[in-house]
Amino acid sequence: MKKIIIIAGLILPTFLFGQLDRSIRPTPAKAPTINIKDSEVFTTPSGITVILSENHKLPRVSFALSMGSDPRIEGTKAGMSDMSGSLILSGTTNRTKDQLDNEIDYIGASINAGKSSISLSCLTKHMDKGLTLMSDVLMNANFPQTEFDRIKKQNESGLLSAKSDPGTMAQNAESKVNFPNHPYGEVMTEASLANITREDVVNYYKSTFTPKGSYLVIVGDITKSQATALVDKYFSKWSGGEPYKMESGDGQFNKGNRVIFVKKPGAVQSVVQISFPMKIRSGETNQLPLTVLNGILGGGGFGTRLMQNLREDKAYTYGCYSSLNVTEDGSWMSIGGNFRNDITDSAITQILFEVDNIGNGYVKDEELNLTKSSMAGGFARSLESPQTIARFALNIIKNNLAKDYYQTYLKRLESINKDDVLTMSQTYFTAKNCNIVVVGNEEIIDRLKQFDTDGKIEFLDAYGEVLKEVKKADITKEELISKYVLAVTQTTSMKAAQKKMKKIKSYEEKTDLSMSQVPFPLKSTKVWVSPSTEAQKLEGQGMVFQKSFFDGTAGASTNMQTGKKDMTAEEIASKKKAIGLFPEMNYATSGMTYEMVGIETLNDKDVYVLKLNDGTTESFDYYDTKTFMKLKSLSINKDGDEVTESSSLFSDFKDINGLLFPHIVTISMGEMAFSGKVTSIVVNGKVDISLYK
């Protein structure tokens, strides 16, 4: 313990105010020496590389374990690894989640887990107990179904709130456009979340959390002999297979600038993020000069070109920064800030100017020196955190750096000159292949076209998925319905259509269905009898799997496995709203709620979108804007919390008794998909409805 300094009575020289020339700036004293203590590194028989950095300033210790597996592409299950990470602390074979949470909090510790890491931080006096818990989680996490369901539901809500957070929206768009088909381009959506099962999560955890190739970084108030003993005690029983390895690409390089817009109704500010990928990986020699370049452009601090221009000079923003991300699996540059609506375009102009301008000539000596000094200072300040020293050791091992890489860091930094910086901007920056992501109010869209090389702004949704553009329809919903009726009945007036339909008394349609999951052919039959009886059955291999009927007032459906179920009053009420061979003919009187959404594109065709609600189900119908034929029908079925979409695509329209019917129908329900070929349509034939009851 240091002596307490009592300074009473101490005599100090007195400066008289006037004698001090305040315009003279202090000169620095001799630069302090920076000593980076070597970390201890050893390997366990099971393949864990242990890195130990002792620091006895505070009585704390941390154990951070990271896996040797590479990130994966998850595609339709995007978010699976994150789900797995957030479930690791959900209980073990020895402890329920409640017990685990309680025991962790009891010692004031924190244990965190991610998709490929798990770490413990606690006071040194509690480390034995802390490691007991950490190693239990590591080896015995059991992913209870209830917790899986809960976290899944939580993620659903999380996705909803992410939809209102402009920063997340911009981030999602940025990842998607820079890194398609790359682990960095994975964004969880409602659909991908729905696809994730508990088995996926367990399998991911089992294949990823394996000692081979993993790193255990121990930092803090602990000695080597303590560390060695603890590693042996708590991690020697941990076993597993080979880590997952995959080479990720460099991302997608554009020809020209793309403007990507994400709509945020009501926004008072736009989030702008201008980004592009770069071909460089962590540990490469260029990383340091590139970091200097980023520092001059906008990598933090108030003195950067971006801050001086956009904040100090033009007062466009509270902050505008560039961030350089160089990693083992892909690298990119991202520049951005928040700007009020009316100057969003001006801000983009200035950012693009700065990105371009920095490659047009040498940077100034002052800014180079400023950045280098600021990086040197940042390096010194970072040494205050014991974690830094451990991270250095980890980087040296992971990236095959020279053993004295960080000892010589300041010397290498000092030697970087203007030529090096110019080479960097000319190698990695062009300002001509930027992804300009803007999240904001639609009112500013027109002013963004100028930045897009081909003048076409792309619209993405909150998750970075392509947004279906909706145009305003040029006809009303009533006009659409009558045009459709005229088209299918091939008549020129509603009167003529009604007259023609009066002659139709019954209808029977047989369809052959094939489905990849079912090895034998399926047949479906659909019938209708005037005015409001209809029925349907699905059969194959001599068995009827499912049948249903409705006679205008009551109905039922029969499933081979679950038996017969009468229609509920609610279902009947809904069904009544969509009755008829062409239910559209009755919308005006049946009570169906319908509205025109606008014009979207469907397989390169413009279609009118009609939104329907029959009281229980919301659905959408899509009509060709040229032929007025119905090309698609999509309904959203809610059963409790479960939401499934089912859709049918119609094509190959043929004339039967003067009416047009589709002859190819593709149906998808949730994960199942059928393709159907209509084999026969009989109009006004005999129909036996009892076959369907």
| Span 139-158, contacts to another protein by CB under 8 A | 150, 153-154, 156-158
| Inter-residue contact 347 to 272 (CB < 8 Å) | yes
At 657, list the tokens: 């008794």
- Environment class of 13 (CB within 10 Å of its CB; exposed 0-12, middle 13-18, buried 19+): exposed
| Inter-residue contact 614 to 592 (CB < 8 Å) | yes
| Inter-residue contact 480 to 610 (CB < 8 Å) | yes
Closest separation between CB of residue 431 and another protein, Å? 24
Q: Which of residues 278-337 bind another protein (CB under 8 A)?
A: 301-303, 308, 311-312, 315-319
In one-letter notation, the amino acid at residue 340 is R
Closest separation between CB of residue 306 and another protein, Å? 14
Return the number of the residue (4 or 543) whose C-beta is nearest another protein. 4
In one-letter notation, the amino acid at residue 426 is Q
| Inter-residue contact 148 to 405 (CB < 8 Å) | no
| Segment (H or E) for 271 | strand 269-278
The contacts found for 372-375 with CB under 8 angstroms, 24 or more apart, are 372/292, 372/295, 372/413, 372/414, 372/416, 374/295, 374/300, 374/301, 374/303, 375/291, 375/292, 375/295, 375/413
Q: Which of 384, 604, 639, 688 binds another protein (CB under 8 A)?
A: 384
Those residues whose C-beta lies under 8 Å from the C-beta of residue 49, and which sit 6 or more positions away, are: 41, 42, 43, 214, 215, 216, 397
Closest separation between CB of residue 318 and another protein, Å? 4
Q: Which has the closest alpha carbon to 568: 577, 581, 557, 560?
A: 557
Segment contacting another protein (CB under 8 A): 55-63, 487-495, 513-521, 539-547? Answer: 55-63
At 291, list the tokens: 């970091």
339 lies in the binding site for another protein (CB under 8 A): yes
Closest separation between CB of residue 370 and another protein, Å? 5
Return the number of the residue (154 or 476) whose C-beta is nearest another protein. 154
Return the number of the residue (156 or 600) whose C-beta is nearest another protein. 156
Closest separation between CB of residue 164 and another protein, Å? 4
DSSP codes joined into one string, 88-111 = TTSBBSS-BHHHHHHHHHHTT-EE
What sign does the dihedral 113-118-122-125 (CA atoms) show?
positive
Q: Which of 373, 651, 679, 684 binds another protein (CB under 8 A)?
A: 373
Interface size with another protein, residues (CB under 8 A): 96
Q: Which of 288, 376, 494, 656 binds another protein (CB under 8 A)?
A: 376
Q: Which of residues 487-516 bind another protein (CB under 8 A)?
A: none
Q: Which of 241, 256, 361, 377 binds another protein (CB under 8 A)?
A: 377
Closest separation between CB of residue 358 and another protein, Å? 18
Q: Which of 41, 139, 288, 370 binds another protein (CB under 8 A)?
A: 370
Q: Which of residues 18-37 bind another protein (CB under 8 A)?
A: 18-20, 22-23, 25-34
Q: Which of residues 73-92 bind another protein (CB under 8 A)?
A: 89
Q: Which of 107, 467, 529, 689 binds another protein (CB under 8 A)?
A: 107
Q: Which has the closest alpha carbon to 686: 503, 500, 505?
A: 505
* Helix, strand or coil, per DSSP, at residue 547: strand
411 lies in the binding site for another protein (CB under 8 A): no
Strand partners, 512: 523, 677
Segment contacting another protein (CB under 8 A): 42-50, 100-108, 528-536, 542-550? Answer: 100-108
Q: Which of 194, 202, 383, 518 binds another protein (CB under 8 A)?
A: 383
268 lies in the binding site for another protein (CB under 8 A): yes
Closest separation between CB of residue 59 and another protein, Å? 4
Say how far apart CA 587 and CA 609 lie, in whole Å: 16
Q: Which of residues 639-678 bind another protein (CB under 8 A)?
A: none
* Helix, strand or coil, per DSSP, at residue 464: coil
Those residues whose C-beta lies under 8 Å from the C-beta of residue 266, and which sit 6 or more positions away, are: 441
Closest separation between CB of residue 568 and another protein, Å? 22
For residues 550 to 579, the per-residue mask of contacts with another protein, x marking binding by CB under 8 A and - elsewhere, is ------------------------------
Strand partners, 141: 92
Return the number of the residue (60 or 176) whose C-beta is nearest another protein. 60
Q: Which has the closest alpha carbon to 399: 334, 333, 326, 332?
A: 326
Q: Which of 125, 224, 403, 564 binds another protein (CB under 8 A)?
A: 125
Closest separation between CB of residue 670 and another protein, Å? 20
611 lies in the binding site for another protein (CB under 8 A): no
Neighbours of 637 (CB within 10 A): 15
Closest separation between CB of residue 376 and another protein, Å? 5
Q: Which of 210, 344, 374, 435 binds another protein (CB under 8 A)?
A: 374
Return the number of the residue (6 or 569) whose C-beta is nearest another protein. 6
63 lies in the binding site for another protein (CB under 8 A): no
* Helix, strand or coil, per DSSP, at residue 308: helix
Return the number of the residue (383 or 504) whose C-beta is nearest another protein. 383
520 lies in the binding site for another protein (CB under 8 A): no
Segment contacting another protein (CB under 8 A): 41-49, 250-258, 267-275, 663-671? Answer: 267-275
2 lies in the binding site for another protein (CB under 8 A): yes
For residues 220 to 259, the per-residue mask of contacts with another protein, x marking binding by CB under 8 A and - elsewhere, is ----------------------------------------
Those residues whose C-beta lies under 8 Å from the C-beta of residue 420, and which sit 6 or more positions away, are: 289, 292
Closest separation between CB of residue 98 and another protein, Å? 7
Helices marked H in 503-584: 569-576
| Inter-residue contact 88 to 141 (CB < 8 Å) | yes
Q: Which of 68, 71, 166, 330 binds another protein (CB under 8 A)?
A: 166
Say how far apart CA 504 and CA 488 lie, in whole Å: 13
